[in-house]
Amino acid sequence: MSAVPAPLEQSATEPRTADPDRTQRLATDLLALARNAAINVEAADEVDYWYRLGQRNAYAHATGLLLARELGQDPFTITNRVTAALDAKVTDVTCLHSAAYGLGTDGPDADAAETVLAWVGPRAFAARFGSAPNIDHDYGHTWGPRSDQRVSLRITDGADTGLLYVHDPTWDEYAVLAESADHSAVTRAFAALEADGRSGNRHLEPRRFAQLVNDAAGRPAPDHRAAAPVRAEL
């Protein structure tokens, strides 16, 4: 007579109870894998760049899917926080874990994590910033780690300040660098980069440009009239 198999502890049709500890361990492992993949991403490597970037993003998205139920958030929102932290060169897994949860960070990469940009899709960006009549002045199309991000100043005709933002064409996402950037300061910062020869740096971070704009805004404007925005690629 054959032995009767022991009953399963949990029916396949019953909802699985989430194990918080296991979720945390898996999230940590996935973030470590994403971090390791990010370290190997080299924009100059024409052969493996997209493969390694895809690896990094796949691990980040897996983290988003894993934490979505616990956080009650869209997986892509969590994924974007992780990839933004990785773009900011955050390598500490604890800081990446905090970034995934949308929390303040503590640790060796805290300063980098604090500057992580909040990326949103075109609909969300247009809903918040696209209603008023305005003109977009472009300040280069080769910013960021892939040398393909565009920095623009969206300003109403006749205004002195406007919205400084960056667009990433790979993901068709937008991030705000400054909601009220001084027009002349943006122009002076961009002109200073060109004069300094750093316009050839195809991987300059948009956040760094925003810092230069803030620095320019804190200095007295030159006596001569500010030059018009240069519509040339960095």
Backbone region of residue 72 per phi and psi (left: phi > 0; alpha: psi in -120 to 50; beta: other values): left
Q: Which residues contact 149 (CB under 8 A, 6 or more apart)?
A: 141, 142, 143, 166, 167, 168, 169, 206
Which residue carries 């970034």 as its tokens? 99
SS3 content of the chain, % helix, strand, coil (to 5): 45, 15, 40
Residue 118 in tokens: 């909040």
Q: Is the Cβ–Cβ distance between 213 and 181 less than 8 Å? A: yes
How far apart (Å, rounded) are the C-alpha atoms in residues 231 and 218? 24
Select the more confidently predicted residue: 98 or 10. 98
Residue 179 in tokens: 């909601």
pLDDT of 186 strictly over 50: yes
Highest mean pLDDT among 7-16, 94-103, 224-233: 94-103
pLDDT for 8 equals 46
How far apart (Å, rounded) are the C-alpha atoms in residues 213 and 182? 8
Q: 155 pLDDT band (50/70/90 cuts)?
A: very high
Q: 193 pLDDT band (50/70/90 cuts)?
A: confident
How far apart (Å, rounded) are the C-alpha atoms in residues 94 and 150? 31
Please, what is the end-to-end C-alpha distance for the chain in angstroms?
80
Report pTM: 0.49
By CB atoms closer than 10 A (0-12, 13-18, 19+), residue 150 is buried
How far apart (Å, rounded) are the C-alpha atoms in residues 5 and 215? 73
Select the more confidently predicted residue: 162 or 98. 162
pLDDT for 196 equals 60
pLDDT digits (tens, 9 = 90+) for 117-140: 788 889 888 888 876 678 899 998
